[in-house]
A and B are shown apart, each in its own frame.
Chain A
Amino acid sequence: MSGKPKLHYFNGRGRMEPIRWLLAAAGVEFEESFLEKKDDLTKLQKDGSLLFQQVPMVEIDGMKMVQTRAIANYIAMKYNLYGKDLKERALIDMYVEGIFDLNELFMYYEIQPADKKEQHFANMMDKATNRYFPAFEKVLKDHGQDFLVGNQLSRADVQLLDTILMAEEFKPDILAKFPLLQVNEWTNSNIPKIKKFLQPGSQKKPPTPGEDIPKVMAIFY
């Protein structure tokens, strides 16, 4: 009996969001069990369900998988979003790691102390527009294809779209200088499974409002 994958995390984006995106892009239905207070996390830890006492944790194919990258790798591989050979996988991995680094900056913005927020914002916008987006714009320009790797949708495109949309929440015209990324964003947003995930009522999570951050932190600290 194979049940649907079950995601254990708080009801927000955090480190689970890339996994939600991948499952959605692969057309895989999933369930979610939300941590709302510290006791919920403690219970999972005491149950022995968390290999390193941490979430994300995803119950999938008889395993209780932890570690964001391990989970994302497994899903991408299983659902053919990881390229067709070792070299394509290498490119996908490089791109995805860059995207993860940019995501970390976005993720940590809300929890910056008030006096550090402005500098953090400037840094993340600088990195997005001068380091990461130019790299991906160039990749698309050099091969002239619609997708980042191997002329087909891969996790690199899915995670890039997630990040672009997050960046646009901070600065709506952030792709102004990146025409090919704009096309890539539009193309990928209109892939049926992704389009469905982008609609209201899906399991895609909104940003956590500033006033809710302390409650989330209290689960983990």
Chain B
Amino acid sequence: MAAKPKLHYTRGRGKMESIRWLLAAAGVEFEEQFIETKEDLEKLRNDGVLLFQQVPMVEIDGMRMVQTRAILSYIAAKYNLYGKDLKERAWIDMYVEGTTDLMGMIIYLPFQPADTKEKNLALIIERATTRYFPVYEKALKDHGQDYLVGNKLSWADIHLLEAILMTEECKPDILSAFPLLQAFKGRISNIPTIKKFLQPGSQRKPPTDEKFIAVVRKIFNI
């Protein structure tokens, strides 16, 4: 009996969203148990189910996995989204770390002091358009293939699409100088499992609003 993976997190995107994306893209159904209050988090901690007292936590294949990257690596490897050999894995890892850094900046934006928000947003846009997106545009240009690594869908492609959509929420025309990324976005969005995830009613979470930030601050005491 293979139970569905069960995700423990808040109702927001945060660090769990990339995991939702990857499971969805792999066509894996999953359940979610939402942390709504500080007490919900304390209960998980007191139950001893969080290795480092933190979420995300995903119950999967008899394990209670924690640490976002560990969970993502496991899912990617299990569902053949991690390349065919060590070298492809190396490239996927490098690309994913780049999109992780970019999305990390965006995830933390609502938690920065109000007077730094404008500056941080400008930095995100600068980094996206001068450091990160040029790399992926060049990768696609150099090999002329549809996917970033090994001519096959991988974790790197799914993560990049997530990063593109998240950055577009900051600045809708952010891909204006990147024609290959525009085509990439269209292509990957139309993969059936991903297309389904992008539709209303899926488990994809909306961008975090002010009201929810207050809830998150309470839960995690930040």
Contact = CB atoms under 8 A, between A and B. Distances in A.
- The reply to whether chain A is a binding partner of chain B is yes
Interface of A: 51-53, 61, 63, 65-70, 73-74, 77-78, 86-87, 89-90, 93-94, 96-98, 101, 131-132, 135
Given A70-B96, A89-B73, 19 more contacts: A52-B101, A52-B135, A63-B90, A66-B97, A67-B94, A67-B98, A73-B93, A74-B90, A77-B89, A86-B77, A89-B74, A89-B77, A90-B63, A93-B70, A93-B74, A94-B51, A94-B66, A132-B52, A135-B52
A93 B86 contact: no
B132 interface: yes
B52 A69 contact: no
Contacts of B70: 90, 93-94, 96-97
Interface in B61-95: 61, 63, 65-70, 73-74, 77-78, 86-87, 89-90, 93-94
B182 interface: no
A61 B101 CA distance: 25
A135 B51 contact: yes
B93 A63 contact: no
B65 A90 contact: yes
Contact of A65 (B69, B78, B94, B101): B94
Contacts of B94: 51, 65-67, 70
B86 A74 contact: yes
Query: Which A-B residue pairs are the 8 nearest by beta carbons?
Result: A93-B70, A70-B93, A97-B67, A67-B97, A94-B70, A70-B94, A90-B74, A74-B90
